[in-house]
């Protein structure tokens, strides 16, 4: 018999007392316990809420049908997002029932691409508290703030400093939509119980002048903290997480490039943490390349990959690819020679004196080139990957050149939200005469060209990080290693069926999110046990343990 995840994997800190039993209106205001119109008549009498609800007692299925209809009548994605956010704040069981019943329809609303628009408008949309906002004014008492979190324990913290929200840049405190959305995916896609999820925004100011001048902006109206002051705040926060919630997983999310790589290196050996933009994206991209190779017939060591962008996403994929190529027999030098990067100042080459430290390992000893079309002609890539946040940078000449050089060119346009995509699915197919193997960060619908319909896949980290987090919780891992993400990538790629490939998809359909997450979780937990990082007894069947431990939205 599988023990529920919520009881098994997270031990509460001694400073977290059991919650007091709720009754009356407070019972209806707790989203974890509220059933709304599904409270039975006996429950209404016992909890002193009789008369506070309409008389009819509904089932969860009846509530979900009404909520789904309310979502669908909203006029646009942002209005749908606002309705679902309000529902989540009122009744999490009902929220997750609606999401799980219609994953393919709901995921683009509760996360990408809609969450980008929600973050831009966050201060104007703000209606109710959710998550923790920690700023410089809280220095010296961050542990106390974490101790105020109303839920008894936490298993996963997703934290951002708002420095690089999707492809939108510095959004400061408005970035809170990202941790909230990521944690919703943990529950929806991998069954991590919602009471274990804690979203945090570190408000360190913003260098976005328009935000600081916006009269509705809710964050600190000061320039972004840097240097020792920034590092001291991060250090206090990280230390406090382990004191208040011992062993909690910390996921760094949407930090800017200047901070993301060094924070990962600083903390990865001290606690169970990872950076999804680097490692999660790396595993997702690698999985996509494995699957694409089944269409093109070209194995990973034979690929030549041109990356447009040299930030967390592209460098994360590059690092994952190099490690995987070495696993398949190439030397490190040979693997790195097959990965060429372009950043905002041109090719990442050894002769440049302006390269950040995290880019130097990928600097090639070659001449600079004037632009992307010239790089395609000179490097002759088999794969083109974009995560640069510049919409439309994959122009028709670029895609046509890729199609001339390759029978089946692989094109990943991974920037979010949709307006930042390097090209659309329709453009990639049209400009390659239907031969492109395409994936994107934002969803695109099916494309019909010359009587053939292709259903492109969304290359989103939601295929990776929820399963990774579940695997870490199952094993009680002390650390997160690169081998765990490599295993996650191989597992995800193996979940892509021939039917998916035949339709042009190199990732599974969204309806299989939980199935995929269970497989990824088992693979990650297996590596944790293999490497000696696990703290929990190893179950006989990791996959069955992962599946059985998943939270299912139902009323007790």
The structural domains of the chain, ordered by start, are 104-271 (3.40.50.10380), 279-459 (3.40.50.720), 463-549 (3.40.50.10380)
- pLDDT single digits (tens) 216-248: 999 999 999 999 999 999 999 999 999 999 999
Query: Span 241-265, mean pLDDT?
Result: 96
Cα 99 from chain centroid? Answer: 17
* pLDDT at residue 6 in the model: 44
**Taking the complete model, does pTM exceed 0.85, yes or no?**
yes
pLDDT of 16 higher than 80? no
pLDDT of 477 higher than 70? yes
pLDDT of 332 higher than 80? yes
Of 16 and 487, the one with more pLDDT: 487
* pLDDT at residue 258 in the model: 87
Residue 132, SS3 per DSSP: strand
pLDDT category, 362, cuts 50, 70, 90?
Answer: very high
Cα 240 from chain centroid? Answer: 24
Query: Ramachandran region of residue 416, left (φ > 0), alpha (ψ -120 to 50) or beta?
Result: beta
437-440 sheet: strands from edge to edge:
346-347, 339-343, 305-308, 383-386, 410-413, 437-440, 457-458
Check: CB of residue 549 under 8 Å from CB of residue 516: no
Whether cis (ω within 30° of 0) applies to the bond prior to 113 is: yes
* pLDDT at residue 549 in the model: 95
Query: Span 533-540, mean pLDDT?
Result: 97
* pLDDT at residue 457 in the model: 86
Which entry of 111, 217, 429, 555 is annotated as an active-site residue? 111
- 111 counts as catalytic: yes
- pLDDT single digits (tens) 69-78: 999 999 999 9
pLDDT category, 5, cuts 50, 70, 90?
Answer: low
pLDDT category, 13, cuts 50, 70, 90?
Answer: very low
Q: Which two tokens stand for residue 245?
A: 């919630």
pLDDT of 99 higher than 80? yes
- 182 counts as catalytic: yes
Kindly list the distances between the CA atom of residue 339 and the CA atoms of 114, 301, 364, in Å, as whole numbers in the listed order. Answer: 32, 11, 9
Q: How many residues does the chain have?
A: 556
Query: Span 340-350, mean pLDDT?
Result: 95
pLDDT category, 167, cuts 50, 70, 90?
Answer: confident
Average pLDDT of every residue of the chain: 94
Query: Span 144-157, mean pLDDT?
Result: 94
pLDDT category, 542, cuts 50, 70, 90?
Answer: very high
Residue where the block lists tokens 């760094």: 252
- pLDDT single digits (tens) 22-51: 889 999 999 999 999 999 999 999 999 999
Q: What is the rounded distance in angstroms from the CA atom of residue 316 to the CA atom of residue 358?
A: 10
Judged by average pLDDT, the poorest of 52-56, 64-68, 265-269, 367-371 is: 367-371
* pLDDT at residue 23 in the model: 83
Which entry of 35, 182, 359, 420 is annotated as an active-site residue? 182
Maximum pairwise Cα distance, the chain: 78
Residue 295 φ/ψ, nearest 5 degrees: -85, -45
């Amino acid at each position: 018999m599988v023990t529920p995840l919520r009881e098994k994997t997270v031990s509460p800190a001694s400073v977290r007392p059991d919650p007091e039993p709720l009754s009356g209106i407070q019972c209806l205001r707790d989203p974890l316990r509220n059933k709304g119109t599904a409270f039975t008549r006996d429950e209404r009498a016992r909890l002193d809420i009789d008369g506070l609800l309409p008389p009819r007692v509904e089932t969860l299925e009846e509530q979900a049908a009404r909520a789904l209809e309310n979502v669908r009548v909203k006029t646009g994605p942002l209005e749908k997002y606002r309705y679902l956010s309000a529902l989540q704040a009122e009744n999490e069981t009902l929220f997750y029932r609606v999401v799980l019943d219609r994953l393919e329809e709901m995921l683009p609303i509760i996360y990408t691409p809609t969450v980008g628009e929600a973050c831009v408008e966050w201060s104007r949309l703000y209606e109710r508290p959710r998550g923790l906002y920690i700023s410089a004014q809280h220095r010296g008492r961050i542990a106390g703030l974490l101790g105020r979190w109303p839920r008894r324990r936490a298993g996963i913290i997703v934290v951002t400093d708002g420095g690089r929200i999707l492809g939108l840049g510095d959004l400061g405190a408005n970035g809170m939509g990202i941790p909230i959305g990521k944690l919703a995916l943990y529950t929806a896609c991998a069954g991590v119980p919602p009471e274990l999820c804690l979203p945090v925004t570190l408000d360190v100011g913003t260098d976005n002048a328009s935000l600081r001048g916006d009269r509705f902006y809710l964050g600190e109206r000061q320039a972004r903290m840097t240097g020792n002051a920034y590092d001291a705040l991060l250090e206090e926060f990280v230390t406090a997480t382990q004191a208040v919630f011992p062993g909690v997983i910390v996921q760094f999310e949407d930090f800017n490039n200047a901070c993301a790589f060094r924070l990962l290196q600083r903390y990865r050996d001290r606690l169970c943490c990872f950076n999804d933009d680097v490692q999660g994206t790396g595993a997702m991209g690698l999985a996509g390349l494995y699957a694409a190779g089944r269409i093109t017939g070209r194995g990973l060591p034979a690929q030549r990959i041109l990356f447009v962008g040299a930030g967390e996403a592209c460098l994360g994929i590059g690092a994952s690819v190099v490690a995987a190529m070495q696993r398949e027999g190439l030397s490190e030098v040979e693997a790195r020679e097959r990965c060429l990067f372009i950043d905002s100042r041109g090719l990442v080459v050894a002769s440049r004196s302006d390269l950040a430290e995290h880019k130097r390992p990928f600097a090639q000893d070659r001449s600079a080139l004037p632009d992307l079309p010239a790089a395609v002609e000179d490097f002759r890539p088999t794969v083109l990957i974009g995560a640069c946040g510049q919409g439309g940078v994959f122009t028709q000449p670029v895609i046509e050149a890729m199609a001339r050089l390759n029978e089946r060119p692989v094109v990943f346009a991974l920037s979010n939200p949709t307006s930042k995509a390097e090209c659309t699915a329709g453009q990639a197919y049209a400009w390659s005469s239907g031969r492109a193997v395409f994936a994107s960060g934002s969803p695109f619908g099916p494309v019909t060209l010359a009587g053939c319909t292709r259903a492109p896949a969304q290359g989103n980290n939601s295929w990776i990080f929820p399963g990774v987090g579940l695997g870490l919780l199952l094993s009680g891992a002390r650390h997160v290693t690169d081998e765990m993400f490599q295993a996650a990538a191989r597992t995800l790629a193996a979940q892509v069926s021939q039917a998916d490939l035949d339709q042009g998809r190199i990732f599974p359909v969204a309806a299989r999110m939980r199935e995929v997450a269970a497989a990824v979780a088992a693979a990650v937990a297996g590596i944790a046990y293999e490497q000696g990082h696990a703290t929990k007894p190893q179950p006989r069947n990791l996959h069955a343990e992962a599946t059985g431990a998943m939270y299912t939205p139902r009323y007790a």
